[in-house]
A and B are shown apart, each in its own frame.
Chain A
Amino acid sequence: MPDLSINFAGIKSPNPFWLASAPPTNSGYQVMKAFDAGWGGAVWKTLGVPVVNVSSRYGGVNYRDKRLVGFNNIELISDRPLSHNLREIEEVKKRFPNHAVIASLMVQSRQEWHDIVRQSQDAGADGFELNFGCPHGMCERGMGSAVGQEPKVLQMIVEWVMEVAQKPVIVKLTPNITDITEPAMAARRAGADAISLINTIQSIVGVDLDQYAPYPIVDGKGTNGGYCGPAVKPIALNMVKNCAQHPDIKLPISGIGGIENWRDAVEHILLGASSVQVCTAVMHFGFGIIREMTSGLEQYMVEKGFHTIDQMVGKALPNVLHWEDLNMKYKVTANINEDKCIGCQLCYTACEDGAHQAIKLNAGTRVPEIIEENCVGCNLCSLVCPVEQCITMERTDDGTQHVTWKERTEAGDIPTEFEDEQAGGRHHWVPEPSAALGKERHKTLPGKARVINGETKVPTEA
C-alpha cells in the first residue's frame, strides 16, 4: 500500500486531500464530518473582521445537461462569531489530533493580524492560510485580492504575520493578476512557508435574459463574483506550474482549483502541488467523494510504482517547456479507425469549417477519409470524435530529427517568407474562396438541411 500521508511545510496530514477554505469548512460540525469521511485536512472558512452576507449568493454554469461545470459566489468570509470558530477549531483538534486544521485569516491592521494569528494558534491550528484572494466584496474594503494584487502590500502583511506566527504560514494567491509568480515571490521574500493557489477568478457566470441582470441576482441586481469548479482547473494548473517552475520561489504549493476526482488531484500534484484543496466538488456532491479520490490516487500510485506522494510531486514539470523548445520535426497525422467509426461526420465538418479542409467524404460510405497531405496534425478531429480511440493521431515523422524554434533562431535560420517547410502556405491546398458558394457549396449545409432552409434545390456534389 502506498503511503498517502504528507508533511506539507511542516503541516502533517494523513492524505493530501484538504477541504479549501469555504462553506464546507464553515463549522466544527462540518469539519468533523469531513474527517470522519476520510479528508486529511481542512482550511477553516476564513476568519476575520465581522461581515454580513447577502441572500442569493451562488451562480452556476451548466453545460448541456451537466450542472455546475463552473460555479461562482459573492459570499464573504465567515459570518460566524470568531469565538465560536476558535472554540470549534479547538474541539476538532482534540478529536482529530493527526488531521490538519489550518486557520484561514483575513484582517486589516498589523494589530488585528497579530491578534488573530495568536488566537488561532492558541486554539490549536496547525498552520495559517492568509486569504489574499477573495475577488469580491472584501477587496472593495482593501482586503482579499486587493492585497494579492499588490505584491508590496502582500509582502508587508506576511511580514507582520511572521512576527508572531509559530506555525507554518501559507499564502493563498489570487489568480486575478497577470503574473502569478510576482505575489508568490513577494510571499517568499516575506518568509512565508508555503503558497496555495488559486482562489476564485473574478467572473460573471451568466445573465438572466428576462431580468437583464447578472447571476446571482440580489433584488434585481448583481455583482461580479468569484469563479471556481471544474471549469477553472486548466487556469489553476497553469498557475501551479508557473510557481513550481520558477527558480526562486521554491515553496511548497497547495494546489486548488477544479479538483473533483483523483485524476484532477494527480494532475495538480504532477505539476508541483504537494497538497490539494477542494471546495466546489464538495459543495456539489458532499464529503463522500473523498472515497473515490483516495482509492483512485492509491490505485494510480500502485500502478506507477510510487510509494509516497513526494515521489510524484512535479513529475510532469520537466516536460512542460516553452513553445520555442518544442521539436518542430515531430509530426502526427489523423487516422480514422473505420471499424469504430459511427459516421457522425463531426470530424469532417470540424476540419472542413474549423481547421484545414483535410477530411473528405466519399460516396457510398459515411466513414470520412483523411487527406494526409492537408492534415497538419492539430488534433481537432480526434477531440470532436464521440467514439473512444476512433481517431488516433499517429506519428508520421521518422523520429530521428529534432529542431526547435530556439535552435533555428540561434542558427539564424528562422523563416523570412511563407514558403518555409512548416509555414502555412506550402503543401497545403486551400480551395478558392468563391468555391464556398460554388462547387463546394454542398459542404456547408448538406442535403435536406439546405432545402429545409427554404431553398428548392439540393446543391449537387462536385
Chain B
Amino acid sequence: MAEFSTPTTEQQFAENFAQLKPVMNRTEALYESSRCLFCFDAPCIKACPSGIDIPQFIRQINSGNDTGAARTIYEANYFGNACGKVCPTEVLCEGACVYNLQEVKPIEIGRLQSFATTKVIKSGEKLFGPGTDNGKKVAVIGAGPAGISAACELRSLGYGVDVFEAKAQPSGLTVYGVAPYKITNEETLAEMAYLQAQFGYNVHFNSAISSREELEKLEDKYDAIFLGIGLGKTNELGLPGEDKINCTGAVEFIAELRQHQHKVAVGRRVIVLGGGNTAMDAASESSRLGAENVILAYRRAKEEMGAYEFEYDLAKGVGVKGMFNVAPVEITGNGYVSGVKFIRTETKDGKVSEIAGSEFVEPCDMVIKATGQAKQTEFLSLIPGLKLDGKGRIIANAHTGQTSNPKYFASGDAWNGGAEVVNAAAEAKLTARGIHAYLSK
C-alpha cells in the first residue's frame, strides 16, 4: 500500500507535499522568539554560513519590530526567506543553538527568519535600493542563489547589472531543485520579485550563454562577469540499459516535479540510486507522488551515506525502504525499464568490493539516478585562462571570488562543487564586494 495516493489536483499535491516548515503566525513567532536567550557571541551566528545576526533579529521580532528583523536578515543574506525554509538548519544554526546542550528543543531559527521576511515580501515594504550609479556594468550569468545575490549586492554598490538566465524563472535550484515540501514555487518567486523590485537589476530569461561569441560580447560590454552557473545535468552511470524509458536523472525529475507538480507521473515501483541528499529528496518525492514501493539503493553501507541523517529519516518517514551494499550493474527492460540488476558489495577497510556471483534483479518500472551533478566544464572551457580544479570546480580566490581570468568571478555550486543555497548566497555577496574592490582600483 502506498503511503500517499497519487495527487491529481493542485490541492492534493499541496497536501502530499505539505510544508515541513510552514510560516509562523504572529503568536507563534512571539512565543518562539521569547525563548531565545540572546547568547553572547552566539553559536548560532557562527554556524550560519551567511552570518545572520540571529539573536538580533529574534529580539526584533520579540519587540514587535518585524520590519527591522527582515532588514537584519537581508543585510546578511538576500535569500533570507528561502534559506529559512530550505536550509538544513539541523546541521547549521539550529544545530548550534545552546538549547541542544540541555536537551531542550532548539530555537526554530529558520521559521522565525521566514516569518519576518515573509511579512516584508507580502507588504512590499521598501527596505533597500540601488546605490548611486557608478557608471560601471557587470554581467551575471545564472539567476540562481549565487547570481541573484551578486546582482543585489552589486546594485547596492551602484553597478548596472544584467543577469542572463538559461531558464524561464529565477532562483536556480531553489525553484528547480529543492524539494517542494521545503518551499513552494510561489514563495520562492515572491522573494525573487521582491528583490528585483528593491534593487532593480535586469534579468534576461531563456538566455543561455553558450558560445564564445556570446561571451565575447559580454566581455566587451561589461566591466566584469560573474559566473553563477551552478552545476549541470545528472552524471551518467555508464551502465547498459541506462537509455531505457523511465530511467531518469534525479535533478531532471525534480525540475519536472517543481514545474508540473501533480502532472508529473511516477512509477509504481521506483528505485532511486544514490546515497546523498538528492537521492533522499527524489525518494521522498516519489513516495509523495503516490508510488507504491520506493527503494533507495546505495552501493555502500547505511552509515556511509552522504545524506544528512534527518533527510534519511524524512524519507523513511514516508515509506521509503533502504537497500544497502548493492551496486547497479544494468538497467533491465525492453524499451521500458523493468528492473535493476544489482550486485552485492561489501565494505572492507573503507573500500567497496563486489561479491562475485551475488547478482540479482530488483523489479521496478522507474529508475531515478541520484548520482551527482556533472560540472559545466565544456561551457567553462570557452573562457580564456579560466582554471578548474581536478574535480571540475572553478578555481577562485575565497575572499574575492576572482578567477584566474581577472575579469571573471565565481561563486556558488560552480565554485564550491555543490553546497546549499545559503552558501551560494553568502559567497556571492562576498564576491560582489571582490568585484567592487577590483573595479575600484
Interface residues of A (CB under 8 A from B): 64-66, 341-346, 348-349, 361, 366, 386-387, 446-449, 451-452
**Nearest CB to that of A341 among chain B residues?**
B101
**How far is it, in angstroms, between the C-alpha of A26 and the C-alpha of B100 when the chains are bound?**
49
Q: A64-B62, A448-B46, A452-B76 are in contact. Are A345 and B41 (CB under 8 A)?
A: yes
**How far is it, in angstroms, between the C-alpha of A200 and the C-alpha of B325 when the chains are bound?**
74
**Shortest beta-carbon distance from A369 to chain B in Å:** 14
**How far is it, in angstroms, between the C-alpha of A446 and the C-alpha of B51 when the chains are bound?**
12
Apart from A66-B34, A446-B41, A452-B52, what 4 extra A-B contacts exist at CB < 8 Å?
A: A341-B101, A345-B40, A387-B102, A446-B40
Q: Is the CB of B31 within 8 A of A345?
A: no
Q: Which residues of A contact B76 (CB under 8 A)?
A: 452
**How far is it, in angstroms, between the C-alpha of A66 and the C-alpha of B34 when the chains are bound?**
9
**How far is it, in angstroms, between the C-alpha of A216 and the C-alpha of B41 when the chains are bound?**
40
Q: Is the CB of A449 within 8 A of B37?
A: no
Contact of A344 among B40, B45, B51, B52 (CB under 8 A): B40
Contact of A343 among B33, B34, B101 (CB under 8 A): B101
**How far is it, in angstroms, between the C-alpha of A98 and the C-alpha of B434 when the chains are bound?**
83
**How far is it, in angstroms, between the C-alpha of A366 and the C-alpha of B96 when the chains are bound?**
12
Query: Is B75 in contact with chain A by the CB < 8 A criterion?
Result: yes
Query: Is B194 in contact with chain A by the CB < 8 A criterion?
Result: no
Q: Is the CB of A342 within 8 A of B102?
A: yes
**Shortest beta-carbon distance from A172 to chain B in Å:** 36
**How far is it, in angstroms, between the C-alpha of A222 and the C-alpha of B136 when the chains are bound?**
57
**How far is it, in angstroms, between the C-alpha of A367 and the C-alpha of B134 when the chains are bound?**
48
Q: A65-B30, A65-B31, A447-B45 are in contact. Are A344 and B53 (CB under 8 A)?
A: no
Q: Which residues of A contact B51 (CB under 8 A)?
A: 448, 451-452
**Nearest CB to that of B63 among chain A residues?**
A64
9 closest residue pairs by CB, A with B: A446-B41, A345-B40, A64-B34, A65-B34, A349-B40, A342-B101, A342-B98, A344-B39, A448-B51
**Shortest beta-carbon distance from B87 to chain A in Å:** 17
**Shortest beta-carbon distance from B18 to chain A in Å:** 26
**Shortest beta-carbon distance from A451 to chain B in Å:** 7
**Nearest CB to that of B72 among chain A residues?**
A452
**Shortest beta-carbon distance from A365 to chain B in Å:** 12
A contacts with B: majority SS: loop
15 cross-chain CB contacts under 8 A:
A64-B33, A65-B30, A342-B101, A342-B102, A343-B98, A343-B101, A345-B41, A346-B37, A346-B39, A348-B40, A446-B40, A449-B45, A452-B52, A452-B56, A452-B75
Q: Is the CB of A448 within 8 A of B45?
A: yes
Which of chain B's residues 50-90 have a Cβ closer than 8 Å to chain A?
Answer: 51-53, 56, 62, 75-76
Q: Is the CB of B98 within 8 A of A344?
A: yes
Among B31, B45, B52, B102, the most chain A Cβ lie within 10 Å of the Cβ of B102
Which of chain B's residues 86-136 have a Cβ closer than 8 Å to chain A?
Answer: 98-99, 101-102
Query: Is B379 in contact with chain A by the CB < 8 A criterion?
Result: no
Query: Is B43 in contact with chain A by the CB < 8 A criterion?
Result: yes
**Shortest beta-carbon distance from A64 to chain B in Å:** 4
Contact of A342 among B34, B53, B99 (CB under 8 A): B99
Q: A64-B62, A387-B102, A452-B51 are in contact. Are A343 and B43 (CB under 8 A)?
A: yes
Q: Which residues of B contact A449 (CB under 8 A)?
A: 41, 45, 53, 56
**How far is it, in angstroms, between the C-alpha of A344 and the C-alpha of B100 when the chains are bound?**
11
Q: Which residues of A contact B38 (CB under 8 A)?
A: 346
Q: Which residues of A contact B101 (CB under 8 A)?
A: 341-343
Q: Which residues of A contact B45 (CB under 8 A)?
A: 447-449
**How far is it, in angstroms, between the C-alpha of A66 and the C-alpha of B30 when the chains are bound?**
10
Q: Is the CB of B46 within 8 A of A344?
A: no
**Nearest CB to that of B53 among chain A residues?**
A452
Q: Is the CB of B46 within 8 A of A447?
A: yes
Q: Which residues of B contact A342 (CB under 8 A)?
A: 98-99, 101-102
**How far is it, in angstroms, between the C-alpha of A386 and the C-alpha of B34 when the chains are bound?**
13
Q: Which residues of A contact B62 (CB under 8 A)?
A: 64
Q: Is the CB of B34 within 8 A of A344?
A: no
**Nearest CB to that of A209 among chain B residues?**
B64
**Nearest CB to that of A451 among chain B residues?**
B51
Q: Which residues of B contact A348 (CB under 8 A)?
A: 40
**Shortest beta-carbon distance from A382 to chain B in Å:** 15
Q: Which residues of B contact A341 (CB under 8 A)?
A: 101
Q: Which residues of A contact B34 (CB under 8 A)?
A: 64-66
Q: Which residues of A contact B39 (CB under 8 A)?
A: 343-346
Q: Which residues of B contact A366 (CB under 8 A)?
A: 43, 98
**How far is it, in angstroms, between the C-alpha of A184 and the C-alpha of B51 when the chains are bound?**
60
**Shortest beta-carbon distance from B105 to chain A in Å:** 13
Q: Is the CB of B37 within 8 A of A344?
A: yes
**How far is it, in angstroms, between the C-alpha of A89 and the C-alpha of B70 when the chains are bound?**
57
**Nearest CB to that of A62 among chain B residues?**
B30
Q: Which residues of A contact B75 (CB under 8 A)?
A: 452
Q: Which residues of B contact A65 (CB under 8 A)?
A: 30-31, 34
**Shortest beta-carbon distance from B426 to chain A in Å:** 11
Q: Is the CB of A346 within 8 A of B40?
A: yes
**Shortest beta-carbon distance from B214 to chain A in Å:** 36
**Nearest CB to that of A447 among chain B residues?**
B41
Among B37, B38, B39, B41, the most chain A Cβ lie within 10 Å of the Cβ of B41
**How far is it, in angstroms, between the C-alpha of A452 and the C-alpha of B102 when the chains are bound?**
29
**How far is it, in angstroms, between the C-alpha of A65 and the C-alpha of B33 when the chains are bound?**
9
Q: Which residues of B contact A66 (CB under 8 A)?
A: 34
**Shortest beta-carbon distance from A459 to chain B in Å:** 12
**Nearest CB to that of B32 among chain A residues?**
A65
Q: Which residues of A contact B46 (CB under 8 A)?
A: 447-448
**How far is it, in angstroms, between the C-alpha of A366 and the C-alpha of B100 when the chains are bound?**
14
**How far is it, in angstroms, between the C-alpha of A366 and the C-alpha of B30 when the chains are bound?**
28
**Nearest CB to that of A442 among chain B residues?**
B41
Which of chain B's residues 277-326 have a Cβ closer than 8 Å to chain A?
Answer: none
Q: Is the CB of B43 within 8 A of A386?
A: no
**How far is it, in angstroms, between the C-alpha of A171 and the C-alpha of B99 when the chains are bound?**
50
**Shortest beta-carbon distance from A279 to chain B in Å:** 26
**How far is it, in angstroms, between the C-alpha of A386 and the C-alpha of B97 when the chains are bound?**
13
Which of chain B's residues 17-52 have a Cβ closer than 8 Å to chain A?
Answer: 30-31, 33-34, 37-41, 43, 45-46, 51-52
**Nearest CB to that of B104 among chain A residues?**
A342
**How far is it, in angstroms, between the C-alpha of A446 and the C-alpha of B53 when the chains are bound?**
11
